[in-house]
Structure 1
């Protein structure tokens, strides 16, 4: 979890330096979010096997922000 938060923060700082802000960056975990749908009240068995990691969710952005992000990536890739 800590690594995902640090990655999100690093990405946000880099995007800010490039003049880009994604409106909804957060960290999400893929475990303990699912409950069995059979009314038993037990956790979904697939949930117990879920990888123990977190994901950086970038959310959605406008087309102008997507184009700006693409341009920054392209400039970096051309170096």
Structure 2
């Protein structure tokens, strides 16, 4: 798998996660690609940073996951 493929896969996963969270009214302000993933020379997948959230957002996220 090339770097471009990993980046594309990570971007698709990020978009899917953002869309799913939005469907539950959840916004993670720091949700994005982990920039330090690009700094290494290793062929690891690009990481996705879930970011920080307040307690109310964490509760909504927990509730959304519990209903699945």
TM-score (normalised: structure 2) = 0.79
SS of the counterpart of 1:21? coil
Query: Structure 1 or 2: larger helix share?
Result: 2
Higher Cα Rg, which structure? 1
SS of the counterpart of 1:30? helix
**Unpaired stretches in structure 2, ≥5 consecutive residues:** 1-6
The answer (yes or no) to whether the contact 1:20–1:68 under 8 Å persists in 2 is yes
State how 1:1-79 maps to structure 2 within 5 Å: 1-28=7-34, 29-32=36-39, 47-48=40-41, 50-76=42-68
**Unpaired stretches in structure 1, ≥5 consecutive residues:** 33-46
Moved over 3 A (4+): none
- Cα RMSD (Å): 1.4
Label 1:3 to 1:62 Cα distance change in 2 as closer, same or farther (>3 A): same
